[in-house]
Each structure stands twice: as structure tokens, then as C-alpha cells.
Amino acid sequence: RKEVEQDPGPFNVPEGATVAFNCTYSNSASQSFFWYRQDCRKEPKLLMSVYSSGNEDGRFTAQLNRASQYISLLIRDSKLSDSATYLCVVNMNSGTYKYIFGTGTRLKVLA
């Protein structure tokens, strides 16, 4: 089983739709969690950190469920510019702190 798993998609949604992605992680020692956005072959850019109580940044909401070991990202009112790959990143303490990346979920917002 992969340490961090994401549905690769693609998710094709119309503009204005609400879309949600999940990411599961296998190691309960995971300490911190992030969502990154990556445009085609460019560097990943931090979208948001994910906090235990859940957090929101404009149209984006992130949730953490430690009991079930998953994090989620909700995007409301999708824009064409939201089209990208969304990477789930988990930082775990396995002796040293290590960032584990999901393979990403591809989102395409259609006009």
C-alpha cells in the first residue's frame, strides 16, 4: 500500500461547480499535512496547510480526519484557473521528518 494515496482523476467539472478530493495516508505518525497545486511541469506551490480543526482560505477548505487517516480539499465555485494537479503532502516523523507526496489529482474546469 502506498504511504499517501490520491485518486489520479482527471476530474472534469463545469465552471462554478464544487469539487472535493480526498487523500489517504498510511502512517499514523504523520505530523503535518499540506495541499500543493502544480501546473503542468512547473514547481509545486503551497495551496494550504491542513490543520486538525479544518481551515478555509477563500473558496478552498481543507479538513483532516486523523481517526480515518485522510485529508480532504474542497473547492467551491470552480474557476477555469483552478485547472491543475493537486498534490497531497504528508510530513511524518519516522526517526527523521520526511515529506511524502501523493501522485496528485488532476482537475480540469470546463467553460
Report the Cα–Cα distance between both ends of the chain, in Å, rounded: 37
Number of C-alpha atoms within 13 angstroms, CB side, residue 64?
Answer: 20
Q: What is the C-alpha to C-alpha distance for residues 78 and 19, in angstroms, rounded to an integer?
A: 8
Least separation in angstroms between residue 18's CB and another protein is 25
Cβ partners under 8 Å of residue 53, min gap 6: none
CB of residue 43 to another protein, shortest distance in Å = 4
Q: Minimum CB separation from another protein for residue 25, in Å?
A: 13
Q: How far is CA 17 from CA 10, 20, 49, in A?
A: 15, 10, 23
Nearer to another protein, 46 or 110 (CB): 46
Between 19 and 89, CB nearer to another protein: 89
Q: Which is nearer to another protein, 81 or 96 (CB)?
A: 96
CB of 87 to another protein, least distance (A): 8
Pick between residue 15 and residue 56 the one whose CB is nearest to another protein: 56
Contacting residues toward another protein, per CB under 8 A: 31-32, 34, 41-46, 49, 87, 89, 91, 93, 96-99, 101-104
Q: Taking Cα atoms as reference points, which of 95, 94, 105 lies closest to residue 71?
A: 105
